[in-house]
Amino acid sequence: MPADRTIRLGFLLAGLVLAADLATKAAIVAWVEYGASHAWLPVLNIVHVLNRGAAFSFLHDAGGWQRFFFIVIALAASVFLVFMIRRPGTSRTERIGFGLILGGALANMIDRAARGAVVDWIDVHWGVHHWPAFNVADIGITLGAALIVLHELFGRKQAREANG
């Protein structure tokens, strides 16, 4: 696939993650009362919680300064990710991963700027043991990061072996 098409693919995936995340968060805010939890599957609840911190509610109760801190971090990360998607020599797999991360970072940044917190709504659990609630943006970030790590561990090695 030509480089310009893989660049477009990275940005397309970013846009899809961004749109899906903002749409699902809008639906949760509109239809699920804050603090509510609705069983959807035996291991999945739909909840409506606000996270003022980062992953796993890191810095959730920090007093408010973290909102601007995480917005600045997301902006800086987004600039870096755009650069990485557009950079010559970036592989298709990396562009896909960077695009997924970019969409998630932008979506959570927009949510944080608009609401002062990120809406989390997916609650995965096994019995009474719950994983911290998350959202579509978090899925994009996690999948993108995993894809890049796997590519670094296995994809680059295969490319080196194929080239001699």
Catalytic, 21? Answer no
Strand order in the sheet with 129-130: 37-41, 44-51, 118-126, 129-130
120 is catalytic: yes
Angle formed at CA 69 by CA 134 and CA 141, multiple of 5 degrees: 35
Please list the residues that pair with 44 across neighbouring strands. 41, 124
Catalytic residue chosen out of the listed positions 21, 111, 120, 123: 120
**Tokens describing residue 55:** 């992953």
Q: How far apart are CA 2 and CA 111, in angstroms?
A: 34
Looking at 21, 111, 123, 138, which residue is catalytic?
A: 138
Amino acid identity of residue 138, one-letter, is D
| Active site (catalytic) residues | 120, 138
